[in-house]
Structure 1
Amino acid sequence: MQTAILLLTQLVGQQKLPVPQGSYAPRGIAIPEPSSIPIFTGPLHDASAVLLHTDRLYRLLRTYSLLTPLGDDVQDENRRITVLELANNSIECSALMPWLETTGWMMEEDSESGWEEWLIAFKDATMPFEWAMKELRSLYRLPFTQLSSTAAC
């Protein structure tokens, strides 16, 4: 019984991790230093570069618990904006600047978009067309012939 209590105490202690070193807290939310944020410089339509960037960005957001809802509407909204700012600031690809101005920054202000919506829009803008078709097929479980016939309509 004492072993179970000790293990449970350790588990609870692990869930309350301190803020990682090298962070600051605008809006009261601990975020990484700019040098820790992964930067996407391109190239566009390179699936491995896009997926690597989104994976690194996702891991960073998870490390700082920025994707975990807090239950307080004001804090959740501040966290949503912070996540989108970090995601938008991670883009330094000149070919994506028009997308960033028309889509990325508008998502920060629309009060509805979050990480998932940003990720979908980013992949839509950067991934090769073949990848999007493959994702659609796997998502909807349609054979390619059905997908191509519905796309022509």
Structure 2
Amino acid sequence: MFFGEFRHNIDAKGRLSIPAKMRNQCGECVYVTRGNDGCLALYTQEGWEAYYHELQSLPQKKKSTRIFIRLVTSRASECEFDKLGRINIPLVLRQEGNLEKECVIVGVGDHVEIWSQSAWNQFYDDNKDSFDDISEDLDEFEL
């Protein structure tokens, strides 16, 4: 399980250090793809396989399903860790997530999200005051 918030800089070559606390759960490589709300999503191999299986179980005859699967998988990238615990995020994904320098790495249970610091700060500020209301709405799911 991934949790926590970490701040790291991405270098000009697209290398981003993944915190050891998270990296130790990942194995030799991870899969990075487009996430929701303007972030990138990082999955372990097992997590990616489970996510891909979920995608394939969606109704393929629906146009929105086909579009979503294409958007997620077309730019997905397998990334290996270097000796310093960094992954090299391809340019197309860095552009997708607006990653330029300061990044926030957020554990969200079954995967990790990579945000530009400005986007994360905006997202958090926009939503933090709604925590109790969101929690109450989720109560119907018996958390």
Shared fold per TM-score greater than 0.5: no
TM, length-normalised to structure 2: 0.25
**Structure with more helix by fraction:** 1
TM-score, normalized by length of structure 1?
Answer: 0.24
Q: Which has the higher contact order (CA 8 A, sep 6+)?
A: 2
Which structure has the bigger radius of gyration?
1
